[in-house]
Amino acid sequence: MASNGKLTGKQRLGWTVLSVVVLVYALFPVAAILATSFKTQADLGTASFLPGSPTWANYEMILFGDAQGLFLTALRNSIGITLIATFIAVVLATLCAYAIARLDFPGKKIILGSALAVSVFPVISVVIPLFNLWRNIGLYDTWLGLIIPYLSLTLPISIWTLAAFFRQIPWDLEQAAQVDGATQWQAFRRAIVPLAMPGVFTTAIIAFFIAWNDFVYGISLTSTEAARPVPAALAFFTGASQFEEPTGAISAAAIVVTIPVVVLVLLFQRQIVSGLTQGAVKG
Amino acid sequence: MSSITLKNLVKKYDDGFPAVNDISIDIEDGEFIILVGPSGCGKSTLLRMIVGLEDITEGDLLIGGERVNEKAPRERNLAMVFQSYALYPHLTVYENIAFPMRLTKGKFTKEEIDEKVRHAATMLELTEHLDRKPANLSGGQRQRVAMGRAIVREADAFLFDEPLSNLDAKLRGQMRAEIARLQRELNTTSVYVTHDQTEAMTLGDRVAVLKKGLLQQIASPRELYEQPANLFVAGFIGSPSMNFLPGTVEGNVFSTPLGKIEIPDRAAKAGEGRDIVLAGIRPEFFDDASQLSEAQLSKGTTFTAEISHSEWMGNEQYAYVSYETDERVHETLRNLAEEMDADELRTQLVVEVDATSRFRSGDTAELWLDTRRMHLFDPATGENLTRDEEAGAELTREAREDRKRDAERFVARQG
């Protein structure tokens, strides 16, 4: 972009067109699902984009109607499991990334390397042995049985992002705090953590997405409503008769699950964007 | 307030490289010590060893007579100003200054903290910026906040790690004066690391010159300038730096590439019987012979030389005289230039003459040299052959008395 921040008319037009194209490309599916969620069963077959006679029936069905039991418990499972997994991942990753960024210890490269290896390992190849193991030790169809595999998905990426973030924080700050009379823990908590907050938030959101959107573990490691998360539960929706596809209900459910994610991002947008480390050192 | 004693301090890294090698310094209570040297000489490492951010491999570090080798930084009660200032960007100026006191739970009441912060802010003219964040401050203001954080601690000593190197030249001059004033006012023992010799000369009660982890000389700025211990100190201190002219001493005659120069007995004796020596001559030891009185001329020696070019600075004038260097000292001079981070070695003499002299390039000028002040160095060991220990010690003693008088005067004025 132009370094002085001023764009010429042509550039502005170009950027606008490009932005619109990208927005439409990214948001069209969401809009389509939103439109579908308001369609009546009869409308689903028609070729029009907008619902002919908009109805809340699909939402009523998943929130108060037949599918209520299936959807609401799944929603509760999803929120609970995802939040716990995210929280554990962020706390562990913060401590681990701090150690990786600050300390020189043997095996540092191995930790980073294996974290990366785990994150690229295909989920589907792990899920069958995990299924067997979980059945044997009683973790099958429990919250913990999902939280543990979710940690294996979220921890590596959390460690990598946070380690990169910690490396940017000037080490001088921590040393200054120590000279000022802080213990190692105080220096970490009062000088480093506040600065790392944007990174922690970013990481938390990424971890949350990963756990929230998981389908393979969700469907393979659960069998009842005890632990089944929303993405898996959607597959168990049924229509009014065996000849009807529950498309409307699934769309409504999809919209409902998207809302927390959108809210989360809007809520923490400021923390993610703010460059807090500014002004720490010379200018 | 405390004395700091460094006893044979050694810092060896894992690869066995001694960054600091057997350094012993006694720092008196209230003294301002400068650690100076080219980059990589170990001055910052030494400072970080004192504050506790760097482990001590060998030797003892005593603060106020107590050995603190194993103590964590926070237990040493020292305050440090970092090169990068290291301000906490998420805290306001007020909270930055209050930070050290906030860490000692229960030791200070809210009112005490507030009073101390405001007192420091007044001293440093930061009162109107107390609610701002470091990101919104200028370089000089950030620097003052960093000093404020050090002051409120009532620490046993202040440590400065090149605190002015990020400021522009004008601000640097102001802050230099500010630091000198504060140190005198608070009369707190201070150790200051710099590579800038102006800072070293103006701030220090004593200056420690380091090279490759070894202490070369520790003395008052005047002693360093007048009676340097060796070639390195002589070349490092002073700007433009000292000229090193190779030559052979025969009787009272010093034969140089510029001709024969008559030297006083003391120098003649020191250089006697040596194959070759280096004469250390500061630019201001020369003058334009045509401008001097008979009486003045008789105190030194005159010789003629061709001026290769001259620089008129307004208050003074530098003339340059080229000469053929001697092969036997080529290696020594090249190493010296390298050690001092200087560019290539110069084979020209820098001569400082009065601004009214009209030297142009190509002129053959008659130059006068104050041979009483020149030193002779052994090119092999770098040792100063004509160093007058007693005169040097006297200069450092005077500096010490000056400091004591300053402190007393300040106390009297306060009382």
Q: Who contacts B338 (Cβ-Cβ below 8 Å, separation ≥6)?
A: none
Per-residue confidence (pLDDT) for residue B209, from 0 to 100: 94
Q: Give the tens place of pLDDT for each residue, B156-213.
A: 999 999 999 888 888 888 889 989 988 988 889 999 999 888 899 999 999 999 999 9
0.85 surpassed by complex ipTM: no
Rg (CA), chain B: 24
User: How far apart are the C-alpha atoms of B160 and B48, rounded to whole Å?
Assistant: 10
Q: How far apart are CA B167 and CA A64, in angstroms?
A: 68
Whether B153 and chain A come into contact, CB under 8 Å, resolves to yes
Which residues make beta-bridge pairs with B348?
Answer: B322
- Residues from chain A contacting residue B79 (CB–CB below 8 Å): 179-180
| Contact by Cβ (8 Å): B212, B236 | no
Question: For residue A276, which residues of chain B lie inside 8 Å, CB to CB?
Answer: 89-90
Question: What pLDDT, on a 0 to 100 scale, did the predictor assign at position B40?
Answer: 85
Note whether B140 and B47 are within 8 A (CB): no
- Residue of B397, B399, B377, B400 lying closest to B387 (CA atoms): B377
**pLDDT for A5:** 60
Task: Tell me the three state secondary structure of residue A280.
Answer: coil
Which residue shows structure tokens 């912060």?
B117
Distances (CA, A) of B413 to B188, B402, B406: 17, 16, 11
Q: Which is nearest to B245 in space by CA: B314, B324, B318, B358?
A: B324
Nearest to B196 by CA among B216, B176, B218, B215: B176
Whether the CB of B72 is below 8 Å from some CB of chain A: the reply is yes
- Residue at token pair 């004509």: B386
What does the pLDDT read at residue B345? 61
B168 touches chain A (CB under 8 A): no
Q: Is B135 on the interface with A (CB under 8 A)?
A: yes
Angle of the A123-137 helix axis to the A143-168 helix axis, nearest 10: 130
Nearest CA in chain A to B50: A179
Q: Provide, as residue numbers in chain A, all residues whose Cβ is less than 8 Å from the Cβ of B78.
A: 179
Best-predicted range by mean pLDDT (A55-59, A72-76, B219-223, B268-272): B219-223
Q: Is B345 on the interface with A (CB under 8 A)?
A: no
Domains and CATH numbers, chain A: 69-273 (1.10.3720.10)
Which of the pair, A23 or B326, is modelled with greater confidence? A23
Decide if pLDDT at A82 tops 90. Answer: yes
Q: CB-based contacts of B170: which residues, under 8 Å, 6+ apart?
A: none
Query: Cα A64 to chain center, whole Å?
Result: 27
Any alpha helices (H) in B227-293, and if so which ranges?
231-236, 265-271
Look up tokens 């482990």; give the residue: B55
- Identify the pLDDT of residue A271: 64
What is the block-wise mean pLDDT of chain B (415 residues), using blocks of 10 residues? 89 89 93 92 93 92 92 91 89 93 85 92 91 90 91 90 88 89 89 91 93 93 94 89 90 88 88 88 91 86 89 90 84 83 74 88 89 91 90 90 86 77
Phi first, then psi, for residue B245 (nearest 5°) are -110, 120
Supply the DSSP symbol for B22. Answer: E
| Residue A282: per-residue pLDDT | 41
Mean pLDDT of chain A: 84
Sheet with strand B375-377: strands edge to edge: B259-262, B253-256, B243-250, B277-281, B375-377
Q: Does B86 touch chain A (CB under 8 A)?
A: yes
| H or E stretch at A95 | helix A68-102
Cis peptide before B163 (omega within 30 of 0): no
Q: Which of B356, B354, B214 is nearest to B283 (CA)?
A: B354
Helix (H) or strand (E) holding B301: strand B301-306
pLDDT at A24 over 50: yes
- List Cβ neighbours of A105 (8 Å cut-off, separation of 6 or more): A99
- Average pLDDT (A261-272) is 76
Calculate helix-pair angle for A247-273, A9-37, nearest 10 degrees.
140
The residues pairing with B320 across neighbouring beta strands, listed in sequence order, are B309, B350
Q: Omega before B240 cis (within 30°)?
A: yes
Burial B342-358 (b: 16+ CB within 10 A, else e): eeebbeebbbbbeeebe
Is the pLDDT confidence value at A85 over 90? yes
Distance CA B332, CA B342 (A): 14
Distance (Å, rounded) from C-alpha B6 to C-alpha A268? 51
Pairing mode, strands B18-27 and B189-194: unpaired
pLDDT above 50 for A158 = yes
The residues near B253 (Cβ < 8 Å, ≥ 6 apart) are B260, B261, B262, B263
Which of A173, A179, A282 should be substituted to probe chain B, the one whose Cβ sees the most B Cβ atoms within 10 Å? Answer: A179
Q: Which residue has the tokens 């001092």?
A: B340
Strand partners, B12: B18
Mean pLDDT of A184-194: 87
In chain B the domains, ranked by start, together with CATH numbers, are 4-226 (3.40.50.300), 240-386 (no CATH)
Q: Is the pLDDT of residue A66 over 90?
A: no
Chain A positions with Cβ closer than 8 Å to B: 170, 172-173, 175-183, 186, 190-191, 194-195, 276-283
Chain A touched by B336 (CB under 8 Å):
no
Tokens found for residue B19: 């960054």
